[in-house]
Structures are given as structure tokens and as C-alpha cells.
């Protein structure tokens, strides 16, 4: 997951092996994540956003983990806002994800720091 993130964030060349080996492995690994590995989910999303990945299967797996499996409950406010920015960057994120994040931020609005608010802008 961190190698995928590194490639995406540093805009490294993506060879055919990357698309045929790495991306399928990341998609497979996303499906196995749990509450102890929420940071790995964020790293995958941030890496995919960094390379503007438009793979429907990848984003469906992310949405399944975040919404259906309830991983959103384990994200802190700052990381939740960063995740929302990543989804916006690639034009992904269903209405369900956005509504969930919006309700989460409203519920914890007193815990929002100026840094978190700046990231959300």
C-alpha cells in the first residue's frame, strides 16, 4: 500500500507491470482491511488521487470499505477531511460518502481545529 502511495504521490512512471501487478494487488488488499488498518485505506486513496486513478473497481472497493464496512468511524477529523479532498480531486465519492462525512463533521464540529477547517476549504 505504501509503495502504491509513493508512486502516486511522487508521480513516478507507471509501467505495464504497475497496472497489471500492483493495482490488482492493491484492490485485493483494500477488500481485506479492517479497523486496525484504516491508515492503509487512506494511503491507498491518497496515492490513487495523486495519480488521478480512474479505476471503477478500485473506487468501488474503497466505497465498500468506507461506507458499508463502517471504516469511516475510525478516521480522525483531519484525515476524514483529507480523504474528502482526495475524492474531490479525482471526481469520485458517491452522495452516500459525502453525506456520511458531512454528518460526521457536523456531529464533531466543536472538535474541528483551524488546521482541519483550512484543509476542508
User: How many domains, the chain?
Assistant: 1
User: 77 with 116: CB under 8 angstroms?
Assistant: yes
- Rounded CA-CA distance 31/63 in Å is 10
In degrees rounded to 5, what are phi and psi of residue 53? Answer: -65, 130
Mean pLDDT of the chain: 92
* Domain extent at residue 113: 2-120
User: 54 with 8: CB under 8 angstroms?
Assistant: no
Render pLDDT for 74-114 as a digit per residue (tens, 0 to 9). 998 999 999 999 999 999 988 899 999 999 989 988 888 88
User: 61 with 27: CB under 8 angstroms?
Assistant: yes
Nearest Cα residue to 44 out of 32, 27, 66, 57 = 27
Global pTM reads 0.89
Amino acid at each position: 500500500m505504501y509503495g502504491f502511495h509513493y508512486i502516486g504521490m511522487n508521480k513516478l512512471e507507471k509501467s505495464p507491470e504497475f497496472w497489471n501487478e500492483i493495482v490488482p494487488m492493491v484492490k485485493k488488499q483494500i477488500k481485506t482491511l479492517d479497523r486496525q488498518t484504516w491508515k492503509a485505506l487512506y494511503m491507498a486513496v491518497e496515492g490513487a488521487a495523486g495519480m488521478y486513478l480512474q479505476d471503477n473497481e478500485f473506487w468501488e472497493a474503497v466505497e465498500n470499505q468506507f461506507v458499508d464496512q463502517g471504516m469511516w468511524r475510525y478516521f480522525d477529523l483531519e484525515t476524514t477531511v483529507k480523504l474528502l479532498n482526495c475524492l474531490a480531486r479525482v471526481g469520485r465519492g458517491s452522495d452516500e460518502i459525502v453525506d456520511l462525512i458531512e454528518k460526521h463533521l457536523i456531529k464533531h464540529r466543536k472538535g474541528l481545529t483551524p488546521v482541519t477547517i483550512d484543509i476542508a476549504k
